[in-house]
Structure 1
């Protein structure tokens, strides 16, 4: 558990800093670590950007670098959860269909959030929870027990309930109890767990969890995204809900809504391309197949 106490100590130090100084520290650390990112990963990100956005190699390289360097300030914000949670409105403004999300919950059942690795998604979950929404973060188990304990402890600190991807029955139960399940829907799953959709004009394997769970539980899906403004303040946008039409063809129902979710994610990435996680190998399973 050495890693846990090391990160806790770092968090304590970062919380003592003024917010601006902490963000500058994060940005500086990210720039220092950029040369150590494997060259093949940088090439992968640049190639994906060129194919998706049809920009020049120089512009693709710039976007790839910016999308990676943003992880420095993102890390500082997570480490500063003990401070940010006291006055979250100073750091995050929620816009869009918040009233529709609250109205949906008022009917006695939960909902699903479909989001992406754009902006600070950890801060997004915390901001929604601190706004009084019953948020369940669906987590990937970290490679070390110490880091897993730390990140889940800090998610709980800002009011989130945490479950793991394998706990599908728990998700069903919590939706029925009125909770909102947050799902990252933009990464490449196994072919067994995905369907083929159009994403940036390419055949892409997409995660079906949001559509499948929404169909089973008969709840709406809210696309939700984060954007960091130039002044460092975050805008959290809740888009109008998607609904899964339940027909006799389950596969077609899930595919149709998964395509809709992918279209919303693509539109947001096109709007803020340097805020998406381009280092992820989004088309790996398609190449292997």
Structure 2
């Protein structure tokens, strides 16, 4: 059954890359919105999880407000996919004009230092477009990491797509990826990492919208070990065809403490920067998976009590796996 599901996933994404990029842009926009609204009306697990995550961002929001946000969130998510399917056929001018970031001086100053730069982003807006803008408007190639997807040919398709936009893509395979990224940074290069979700045991615990989650240690460790500048970036859409963004001030390496302590402080600073962008534009945060530890680990139950229906005595990871639809 999983093999059939993998083949169907590949067929769906292959159809997207093959057909959507040939559509006139207004038609693609309407198609994306239609698909988003249909998915929202079905109230599937992804939509319900999106609303649950938005409830952490806006704890005082009413159910009606959360439903409104999730509808806008699904439209934003499908806008990401429609743009991504079409990016390979966009002109350089369309890419340059499609993204307007603020505070670019932080990036220019970091690159001019020759120390290498780690850009860390959450799942906001369209980071593929931001990456294409960097390679096109600034002429800066960069390296990123991609989680392996199933089936393997779908992963290969994602890698080919991103490499076609000028990115160097390193598969996430243990410590080998970290070593490659470190070499690029020591050579003064640019590394971009999506960095607000890490449910592995090696993730760094941070406070995010008042609750605990884990985020990857990689950005902070790379900055410490290579001397690279660590820059948080947040993205958002507006009503125009243009995506906007903000390059936040650098996250500095603390002057004292153990490596673990420094990593914790720096990763919390990333989480705080991400939170500002997400709070300002929650509808553009495409987090359709579990994130907070309270959603992953069962709460202690009184002696003799039975767990509620649908829960397990161990950590429930049913929707934690990387899927083709989850950006990496």
> What TM-score do the two structures reach when normalised by structure 1?
0.89
Q: Which residue number corresponds to residue 123 of structure 1?
A: 129
Structure 1 residues 12 and 90, CA gap change in structure 2 (3 angstroms) = farther
- Compute the displacement of 1:258 (Å): 0.7
Q: Distance in 2 between matches of 1:152 and 1:128?
A: 18
Q: Which of these residues, 187, 201, 205, is aligned with residue 197 of structure 2?
A: 187
- Compute the displacement of 1:226 (Å): 1.7
Structure 1 residue 74 and structure 2 residue 80: aligned? yes
Structure 1 residues 8 and 203, CA gap change in structure 2 (3 angstroms) = closer
Q: Which of these residues, 140, 145, 169, is aligned with residue 138 of structure 1?
A: 145
**Highest CA radius of gyration, 1 or 2?**
2
Q: Which of these residues, 218, 221, 245, is aligned with residue 254 of structure 2?
A: 245
1:82-93 aligned within 5 A: 82-87=88-93, 88-93=95-100
Structure 1 residues 159 and 244, CA gap change in structure 2 (3 angstroms) = same
Structure 1 residue 50 and structure 2 residue 59: aligned? no
Which 10-residue stretch deviates more, 245-254 or 116-125? 245-254
- Compute the displacement of 1:103 (Å): 2.9
Q: Which of these residues, 174, 177, 183, is aligned with residue 187 of structure 2?
A: 177
Q: Which of these residues, 20, 23, 40, is aligned with residue 26 of structure 2?
A: 20
State the secondary structure of the residue aligned to 2:90: helix
Q: Deviations over 1:158-206 (max 9, x none)?
A: 111111233111111111122211111111421x212222111112222
1:1-289 aligned within 5 A: 7=13, 10-36=16-42, 38-39=44-45, 41-54=46-59, 55-87=61-93, 88-96=95-103, 98-131=104-137, 132-166=139-173, 167-190=177-200, 192-284=201-293, 287-288=296-297
Q: Distance in 2 between matches of 1:15 and 1:101?
A: 31
Structure 1 residues 5 and 286, CA gap change in structure 2 (3 angstroms) = closer
Structure 1 residues 170 and 229, CA gap change in structure 2 (3 angstroms) = same
> What TM-score do the two structures reach when normalised by structure 2?
0.79
- Compute the displacement of 1:10 (Å): 4.0
Unaligned runs of 5+ in 1: none
CA RMSD of aligned residues (A): 2.4
State the secondary structure of the residue aligned to 2:253: coil
Unaligned runs of 5+ in 2: 1-5, 299-328
